[in-house]
Amino acid sequence: MQPTPPSRLVELAQAHGVATDYWDWVGQHVTVSADSIRAVLAALGVDAADDAAVESALAEHADAPWRRTLPPTVVVRAGRGGRVPVHVPAGSGVRLHVELEDGGRREAEQVDRWVPDRVVDGAPVGEATFEVPVDLPLGWHRLVADVDATPLDPTTTAATLVVTPERLELPEPVASQRVVGLMAQLYQVRSARTWGVGDLRDLADLATWAAAAHDADFVLVNPLHAAEPVVPMEPSPYLPTTRRFVNPLYLHVEDVPKVASLDATAHRRYLALAARGRALSTGDGADRIDRDAAWTVKREALRLVHDAGLTGSRAAAFAAYCAREGEGLERFATWCALADVHGLPFTAWPADLQEPDGPAVQAFAAEHADDVDFHRWMQWLLEEQLGSVQREARAAGMSLGVVHDLAVGVHPVGADAWGLGDALARGVTVGAPPDQFNQLGQNWSQPPWRPDRLAELGYAPFRDMVRTVLRDSGGLRVDHILGLFRLWWIPTGGSPAEGTYVYYDHEALVGILVLEAQRAGAVVIGEDLGVVAPNVRDVLVERGLLGTSILWFEWDGDTVRAPEAYRDLCLSSVTVHDLPPTAGYLTLEHVAVREALGLLTRPVEEERAVEEAAIGRVRVALEERGLLAPGADVDETVVALHRWLALTPSRMLAVALPDLVGDRRAINQPGTNDEYPNWRLPLAGPDGAPVDLDDIREAPLVEPLFAALRGD
């Protein structure tokens, strides 16, 4: 039991959204240590090292809003309006207007509301209150204050104004009926044409087959975010270097238009590279996904094609893409080119190259313009191929098409950590407190957004990330959507249990997500598993976002939750990527792996007994519903579990691709790095032998599982 932190430290922590206590997964009240609180406050730029520093920080927090004319960002819901405090030298006049996204202008009315002046830095400051017009259009607007006197801080006389929808308008047919789809880790999906790692052509083929043969409405894929541009490449798709851009490892080189017109010498070189790439899927070592080998070959082939140049309409299209993506693309591509020359991590680069806005980086970009161009070009190709995949999926009959996945965060020394500056917190990482399946907690090694800096930046980094991922997609799954409400921050060097929650402005973050999704015509699915704050699911329903239900986690105390009690606005499935496939779960693969890796906090016999009892209760529930015969084998049980989902009211149902082929191995074991081959296992059958797209089509469980979800 931790001693209670000093009351003034608690007050300071609460002022900055830092939790000083919480309830754990077994319902016990936990007090956060003073050391953890101070470390987290330091990551927010708040000095709380001693009592004097705490008092100074409290005074600064109270005065901070009065030092600026406007708050950094104002987020309101359409039709509601909102009030904006405006600070000016006491006695001076002020007017406020809105510059609309489309170029129009609207005046804001001042509210008759008296607020006493406040003395800040020795001078009296007054506060005027203005009403945001209730009929503003959705979008990204700008508040501008015109102050009669010299403003308190001229840099704060303008602010971002975001008008968000009250609720996301769900696309059809999700708005009116159920849809059924597939969940896949794309890198696992290989074919005869694959260069070691499943690519966007494989995704198109998977989607069109699932739609045409099994009436699938969507395919949900793992995050396709960019990894390192040089080897070694991080295997986890949930630890990207940036979430705004895409990993060119997923490019299908044969679909790049310029390949067909390479000159004879380049074409011979390309064919040799293609042969090497395809051998990675079929030769020795094909039982492991070797991203480094695949990227080495694919990158060389892509560079060969890039160096052939662009002309005519293709050159114009590329230039337009670069202009649209602007500074964000330029900065990412420059980071990639720097990594090509200086290696990684960037923290080992010369000091002047660690400053993205510095003259040394500008000089480097000019000197290596062709290399920067190569990385921009690959992102352009990815946008083209992703758009093509979506069009093919929809043409084949999918109502939604591809649903993308947004990871929780980014690599601590990746492109975003370099390029986004102090928008990401330092000295802490994101993770999760101990829970049922990870009893030591989790450390995801990712720097979190700083909520204060996000607001100061007008939420532009968050908006640009969400907007890019939503482009050419039917939906977005937000991994750990709880992070838009609060995140578990772990001080560097501490264990996951030594962290605490930091709260975010969920009204702003969820509102922006809803705005961008509505503009894209997409559905949003929040992965709301784990320790969930009391208001999260209510907010998701209120804003029209779907939650997530995993059958193994659905309990009412010790009783299996009835399918009729599942949520309506929900994506439901039997399993998820952090668990073994269903056949593996039924045979206690998750217990065996955690025992072997030393991740259990109770004896293995007890763990096994608890899991067997839980699975037994699920079997009984299936039998009572007439979905499963006593003594049924593993495959029959897998099918019955999916029949159970068909009895729920959930709008979206999904079957995991590994379940279709009978794979039993978990693709990821949370809480491990190299102890387990996380994210490196190709799709395999029950015998562990790798399978390709042709094998998937012929797998015996495919038709029964899709039929089970449809309720046939």
Q: Could you list the mean pLDDT of each consecutive 10-residue stretch along the chain, which spans 712 residues?
A: 89 97 87 96 97 97 96 97 95 96 96 95 96 97 94 91 97 94 97 96 98 98 98 96 98 94 94 96 86 98 96 96 97 98 97 97 98 98 98 98 97 97 95 78 92 97 97 96 96 94 97 98 94 89 97 94 97 95 95 88 90 96 97 97 98 98 92 87 94 95 97 90
- Is the omega angle on the peptide bond into residue 151 within 30 degrees of 0, that is, cis? no
Q: How far apart are CA 75 and CA 165, in angstroms?
A: 11
Instruction: Determine contact, residues 689/683, Cβ cutoff 8 Å.
Output: no
Whole-angstrom distance, CA of residue 340 vs CA of residue 353: 13
Any domain includes 531: no
677 and 558 inside one domain: yes
Which one-letter DSSP state was computed for residue 33?
P
- Which domain does 143 fall in, by range? 79-164
CATH classification of the domain holding 135: 2.60.40.10
Scanning the structure block, which residue is given the tokens 């390309």?
A: 270
Q: Are 398 and 216 in contact (CB under 8 A)?
A: yes
Q: How far apart are CA 698 and CA 34, in angstroms?
A: 59
Whole-angstrom Cα distance, residue 278 to residue 284?
A: 12
Give 613's contacts (C-beta < 8 A, 6+ positions apart). none
- Please, what is the Cα angle at 83 between 77 and 86, to 5 degrees? 135
Whether 695 is in a domain gets the answer yes
Q: Is residue 580 part of a domain?
A: yes
**How far apart are alpha carbons 232 and 253 in whole angstroms?**
21
Tell me, yes or no, whether 53 and 95 share the same domain.
no
Q: Could you tell me if residue 433 is left (phi over 0), alpha (psi between -120 and 50 degrees) or otherwise beta? A: beta
Q: Let me know if residue 74 belongs to a domain.
A: no
- For residue 345, is the peptide bond before it cis, meaning its omega torsion is within 30 degrees of 0? yes
Does this model's pTM top 0.75? My answer is yes
Same domain, 59 and 144: no
> 């480094």: which residue's tokens?
292
- pLDDT at position 1: 63
User: Does residue 666 fall inside a structural domain?
Assistant: yes
Give yes or no: residues 98 and 144 share one domain: yes
Are 314 and 257 contacting, i.e. CB atoms less than 8 angstroms apart? yes
Check: CB of residue 333 under 8 Å from CB of residue 375.
yes
- So what's the pLDDT on residue 651? 97
Do 16 and 147 belong to one domain?
Answer: no
> What are the distances in angstroms from CA 539 to CA 136, 161, 191?
23, 21, 42
Across-strand partners of 125?
89, 118
Residues contacting residue 670 through CB under 8 Å, at least 6 positions apart: 437, 438, 442, 578
Residue where a domain terminates, one of 19, 37, 64:
64
Task: Give the position of tokens 């979506």.
Answer: 390
Using omega within 30 degrees of 0 as the cis cutoff, is the peptide bond preceding 232 cis? yes
Residues 6+ apart with CB under 8 A from 85: 65, 71, 115, 127, 128, 129
Same domain, 131 and 41: no
H or E element at residue 376: helix 369-395
Question: Rounded to 5 degrees, what angle do the CA atoms 94, 100, 101 make?
Answer: 140
Tokens 């607020």 — which residue? 115
CA–CA–CA angle 543, 709, 651 (5° rounding): 15
Q: Which of 98, 133, 164 is the last residue of a domain?
A: 164
Torsion of CA 212, 218, 222, 223, to 10 degrees: 120
pLDDT (0 to 100) of residue 489:
98
Q: Is residue 385 part of a domain?
A: no
What angle (nearest 5°) sits at the alpha carbon of residue 184, between those of residues 180 and 189? 130
Whether residue 31 lies inside any domain: the answer is yes
Same domain, 604 and 697: yes
Whether residue 101 is found in the same domain as residue 54: no
Number of domains in the chain: 3
Tabulate helix, strand, coil % of the chain (nearest 5). 45, 20, 40
Instruction: Identify the H or E element spanning 111.
Output: strand 105-111
Rg of the chain's alpha carbons, rounded to an integer? 27
If asked whether residues 157 and 15 sit together in one domain, one would say no
Chain Cα centroid distance, residue 393: 23
Q: What residue type is 81 in one-letter code?
A: G
Same domain, 567 and 653: yes
User: Is 20 in the same domain as 97?
Assistant: no
Distance between CA atoms of 343 and 421, rounded to whole angstroms? 20
Q: What is the pLDDT of residue 437?
A: 63
Q: What is the pLDDT of residue 161?
A: 98
Residues 47 and 157 both lie in one domain: no
The residue out of 19, 38, 64 marking a domain boundary is 64
CA distances from 232 to 122, 141, 418, 561 (A): 56, 42, 18, 44
Domain assignment of residue 367, yes or no = no
Do the Cβ atoms of 11 and 55 come closer than 8 Å? no
